[in-house]
Structure 1
Amino acid sequence: MTPVRRQAARRSRPALRRRAVLATVPVVVAALLATAAPATAGTTGSFGTIAPYGPLVGPAMAGTTGSSGAGDPYFPLAGNGGYHVRHYDLTLRYDTASRRLDGTAVLTARATQRLTRFDLDFTGLKITRLAIDGAAASYRRDGQELVVTPRRALREGQEFHVTVTYHGIPKPVTDPDGSPDGWIPTDDGAFVAGEPQGAMTWFPANNHPKDKASYDFTLTVPKGRTAVANGVFLGRRTAQGQTTFRWRQAEPMAAYLATATVGTFDVERSTTRDGIQVYNAVDPREAKAAAPVLKKLPSVLEWESKLFGRYPFRAAGSIVDRAPDVGYALETQGRPLYDSAPALSTLVHENAHQWFGDSVSLTTWKDIWLNEGFATYAGWLYNEQHGGASAQKTFDTLYARPASDRLWAFPPGTPGSGANIFATPVYARGAMTLHALRKSVGDRVFFHILRAWAAEHRHGHGTTARFTQLAERESGKDLDGLLRTWLYTDGKPDRSA
């Protein structure tokens, strides 16, 4: 994300999130922050086997009820245990005048234990039907939890289909840092950004990055509006004053990265030299400001591919909306979402997330620096290689901040709470950690580490511990002290560490 949430970084949220980040650094650094190989068969880590299409989510259960959370300490009710969703088929109709959303979600899932009951994350909208494999199932609402009881227990390993039909006026949630998240209404449609918990405002989900799935979207909106989702554009048709758009995200995606943004958009489509399908949707009010930046998207993707390895998806592009109350951009998978015309640095940042955050996803929100620190450092590298300040100069400018500066408020490897995951230390000190690593191991090894990280965990998951192991393996050095200093030490680190 980029502040401005992430334009520097997380969502770039620092305009809520992004602007908060930018406010902490000098102007030259703020500008930078505002930018701010084959798939593996699977890896094994602390959460068990992590396959390309997602891990077996949630803690092991002694009984037959799936857990109401995936075990994340910052968002204890996010995600669910006992099953893994393989595919979401979402059919939505949105009326921009009344702001009513009608939806049918079909989830194809596999039980990872015997289940007499399981949870989905879903809030706000009224359910009119819920069925498992075509048979009506009982359910109840408990806050953000949709608690489902099938007629018959599901066997461990059984594939099953959950169909939920629902409607209502979706409302965003407010994140711990005060940012809006989820289905956010605009003057001509909706800005749909789900990080970290907003997916549950518009479809029932196993809403934690540990559970990734493929998606199909069928989105119907009033004629004259465009509905943009993730992945490859499959076509559109108009009848009786309504236009239906179809999209397919074949590569695995965490629920928070899904979008179904609706608005009045100018659309441009193209294909890169590498065969990537590019789809840009731009609010006409932002078109003039956005055009020079979006023109650089193919070259940015080419540059990032050379640095980080093959682009991980079939589709790319941008959604540039006018959403003045949002305050951030988001790396929605394959097609980043901007609340206004982005700066080039923001474009670089959000597209770097396609490798770091989208393809290689988090196992816990505590490790958010693996997303935001990496995307922020990508902005430093882009600036360094395109006539701007060197990464070393950016590092030095940041390090000159006094010990009282909020850059040193907490270590990026342990933000402490969900309220801090998009704050300055995660972005800026996270990037500084990577620069310290680069200085320690040298450029050749450092860039090999970045490519190996993206390749070995492609469409999978990562942790800080795994990154440390990989960096030590590739460099042949003991890096525990250096990374511990930059990621886990309170206060301003000793740069000689």
Structure 2
Amino acid sequence: MTPPRQRGAGRRATVRRHAVLATIPVAAAVLLGAAEAPAAMSTGASGLRDPYYPLSGNGGYHVEHYDLTLRYETATRRLDGTAVLTVHATQPLSRFDLDLHGLEVTGVTVDRERANVGRTGQELVITPHQALRKDQVFTVTVAYNGTPEPVTDPDGNPDGWVPTDDGAFVAGQPQGSMTWFPGNNHPRDKSSYDFTITVPEDRTAVANGVLVGQSTANGRTTFRWRQSEPMAAYLATASIGKFQVEKYTTRDGIQIYNAVDPRQAKASAPVLKNQSSVLEWGSKIFGPYPYRSAGSIVDHAPAIGYALESQGRPVYDSAPDLHTFVHEIAHQWFGDSVSITSWKDIWLNEGFASYAEWLYDEQHGGDSAQDTFDVLYATDADDELWDFPPGDPGSGENLFATPVYDRGAMVLHELRRAVGDTTFFRILREWPTQHRDGHGTTAEFVSLAEQESGKDLGALFQTWLYEDGKPKRA
């Protein structure tokens, strides 16, 4: 995510399938199991005990695939949805939860048998007709409708399905996916997706992955999208609007689909023309681009104030500048392909994407990363940059604040200085290579850096990731 912005004097002044099923990485399976109730019990936990969002996600199962069929009326803002989830039980289950905020549920079946349903806050509590065995693969179908409303994050920003004057801006970080479909709403659980979205014929619906079909009848157009690679729920989008569409294939075979609000087209054009070159640059630095498709959704949503790295196709509230564009593309490696297991580790997403901006500048005639570091380090000790350590933001309110981004990037630059460029860039490439389509933790990144460099880096990471205040440089 590019944080809520008051872009002014500085670089960043922040107020802040069908048949293809994703397989759960071993590490994620262990983590999902760790949050569940003891084995003797058969109720899936109502949350994965994330320190900042304890009710996000659910225990006892892994969603292999979501098949979402949506119909949205832009005039009335009514959403009708059917979600078909292919689920793998990681423990015996007599009951389990899905995350869903608002919206009326009109029916739930488990393996085509009607299930009992209860609601407790954001928890949709489902009791199947028959208890489910450990390792059983089953299908959950949820029919629902209503007027989706965004949730408000601890930092005061809207998150989820946000209506616009011509459709919807759909950005789910960190908890907003539950505003428009029921699911396991935590980055620990990654799945493949199919989207079938029907909208008025003068609107375009854009989701993740590859556009596999489009048809118009009776004044409505249906768009069918497929995201085959594993994706965390918060990275799903189904943005709708009166978009100008651009489609092409890069020389590396990546299918590009850009959707731009006409009001943002002129301002967007100079940046979007760099899409292929930025993808090529990222592939050289970080390893092969992890998806078959890419692109951008540039909306006209002045009330939002941020952009989000929706998988394969970031969504922007307005025409992005080049730094924001590079930042969101870098997230496709850092945050999307390699996902965090706890929101506490958000620096692994934002610090890396911010440092990608520094590297892009450095390699394209701008300031060196060292110059950027020096400018930041010169700020006073009471500057917001030093408000809290990036490895432990302390609350959801701080997830998208300056230290996570800029001090997070400074951690990486200090690592670069300590191990040298050759080793540093090898680490930067190995991280998304080793954890592709999976998850990573800060401890695993530190271990990789020490393994690749042959150095004890504990003191460096302790100082720059976890110590309060402005660190003293060695």
1:397 corresponds in structure 2 to: 375
Q: CA deviation at 1:58?
A: 3.3
Structure 2 CA distance for aligned equivalents of residues 57 and 169 of structure 1:
35
Coordinate RMSD, CA, aligned = 1.5
How far does the alpha carbon of each residue in 1:379-429 deviate from its partner, in whole angstroms, 9 at most, with x for none? 000011111111001000000011111100000000001110101000000
Distance 1:106 1:48, change over 3 A: closer
- Are 1:30 and 2:12 matched, yes or no? yes
Instruction: Note the 1:219-258 alignment, pairs <5 A.
Output: 219-258=197-236
Query: 1:344 corresponds to which letter in structure 2?
Result: L
Query: 2:318 corresponds to which letter in structure 1?
Result: S
Structure 2 CA distance for aligned equivalents of residues 476 and 403 of structure 1:
33
Task: Report the TM-score when normalising by structure 2.
Answer: 0.96
Structure 2 CA distance for aligned equivalents of residues 301 and 57 of structure 1:
37
Q: CA deviation at 1:43?
A: 6.8
1:421 corresponds in structure 2 to: 399
Structure 2 CA distance for aligned equivalents of residues 59 and 406 of structure 1:
38
Three-state SS of the structure 2 residue aligned to 1:163 is strand
Q: CA deviation at 1:292?
A: 1.0
- Are 1:59 and 2:43 matched, yes or no? no
Contact 1:56 1:84 in 2 (8 A): no
2:259 corresponds in structure 1 to: 281
Contact 1:372 1:430 in 2 (8 A): yes
Structure 2 CA distance for aligned equivalents of residues 437 and 318 of structure 1:
32
Which residue among 150, 159, 163 is the counterpart of 1:181? 159
Which residue among 87, 107, 113 is the counterpart of 1:129? 107
Contact 2:209 2:227 in 1 (8 A): yes
Contact 1:42 1:49 in 2 (8 A): no
User: How many residues end up aligned between the 2 structures?
Assistant: 466
Contact 1:449 1:471 in 2 (8 A): yes
Q: CA deviation at 1:71?
A: 1.8
Structure 2 CA distance for aligned equivalents of residues 410 and 467 of structure 1:
21
Structure 1 CA distance for aligned equivalents of residues 414 and 25 of structure 2:
27
Which residue among 429, 433, 436 is the counterpart of 2:411? 433
How far does the alpha carbon of each residue in 1:247-304 deviate from its partner, in whole angstroms, 9 at most, with x for none? 0000000000000000000000000111000000000010000011101000000000
Task: Report the TM-score when normalising by structure 1.
Answer: 0.92
Structure 2 CA distance for aligned equivalents of residues 220 and 119 of structure 1:
28
Contact 2:198 2:220 in 1 (8 A): yes
Contact 1:57 1:80 in 2 (8 A): no
The gaps in structure 1 that reach 5 residues or longer are: 4-13, 35-40
Instruction: Note the 1:436-455 alignment, pairs <5 A.
Output: 436-455=414-433
Q: CA deviation at 1:30?
A: 2.4
Which residue among 95, 103, 112 is the counterpart of 2:90? 112
2:359 corresponds in structure 1 to: 381
1:295 corresponds in structure 2 to: 273
Which residue among 291, 299, 307 is the counterpart of 1:329? 307
Structure 1 CA distance for aligned equivalents of residues 37 and 123 of structure 2:
19
Structure 2 CA distance for aligned equivalents of residues 48 and 103 of structure 1:
29
Three-state SS of the structure 2 residue aligned to 1:30 is coil
Structure 2 CA distance for aligned equivalents of residues 57 and 237 of structure 1:
45
Query: 1:58 corresponds to which letter in structure 2?
Result: A
How far does the alpha carbon of each residue in 1:414-453 deviate from its partner, in whole angstroms, 9 at most, with x for none? 0001110101000000000000000000000000001100
Structure 2 CA distance for aligned equivalents of residues 475 and 83 of structure 1:
38
Displaced runs of 4+ in structure 1, greater than 4 A?
41-45, 47-50
Q: CA deviation at 1:60?
A: 4.8
Q: CA deviation at 1:49?
A: 4.4
Structure 2 CA distance for aligned equivalents of residues 144 and 399 of structure 1:
42
Three-state SS of the structure 1 residue aligned to 2:307 is coil
Q: CA deviation at 1:61?
A: 2.8
Which residue among 451, 461, 466 is the counterpart of 1:483? 461
Contact 1:111 1:159 in 2 (8 A): yes
1:459 corresponds in structure 2 to: 437
2:70 corresponds in structure 1 to: 92
Contact 1:257 1:331 in 2 (8 A): yes
Query: 2:268 corresponds to which letter in structure 1?
Result: A
2:298 corresponds in structure 1 to: 320
Query: 2:175 corresponds to which letter in structure 1?
Result: Q
Three-state SS of the structure 2 residue aligned to 1:419 is helix
Contact 2:24 2:190 in 1 (8 A): no
Three-state SS of the structure 1 residue aligned to 2:282 is helix
Which residue among 338, 348, 363 is the counterpart of 2:326? 348
- Are 1:2 and 2:10 matched, yes or no? no
Contact 1:78 1:197 in 2 (8 A): yes
Q: Which moved more, 1:365-374 or 1:487-496?
A: 487-496
- Are 1:154 and 2:132 matched, yes or no? yes
Query: 1:252 corresponds to which letter in structure 2?
Result: P
1:38 corresponds in structure 2 to: none
Contact 2:389 2:469 in 1 (8 A): yes
How far does the alpha carbon of each residue in 1:26-77 deviate from its partner, in whole angstroms, 9 at most, with x for none? 52x328x99xxxxxx98765x6647xxxx65733534110000012010000
Identity %: 68
1:8 corresponds in structure 2 to: none
Three-state SS of the structure 1 residue aligned to 2:12 is helix
How far does the alpha carbon of each residue in 1:148-202 deviate from its partner, in whole angstroms, 9 at most, with x for none? 1011100000001000001000000000000000000000000000000000000
1:75 corresponds in structure 2 to: 53
Structure 1 CA distance for aligned equivalents of residues 126 and 210 of structure 2:
32
How far does the alpha carbon of each residue in 1:74-132 deviate from its partner, in whole angstroms, 9 at most, with x for none? 00000000000000000000000000000000000010000011000001100111000
Structure 2 CA distance for aligned equivalents of residues 49 and 83 of structure 1:
11
Structure 2 CA distance for aligned equivalents of residues 48 and 73 of structure 1:
19
The gaps in structure 2 that reach 5 residues or longer are: 16-22
Query: 2:376 corresponds to which letter in structure 1?
Result: L
Contact 1:137 1:151 in 2 (8 A): yes
Structure 2 CA distance for aligned equivalents of residues 168 and 250 of structure 1:
28
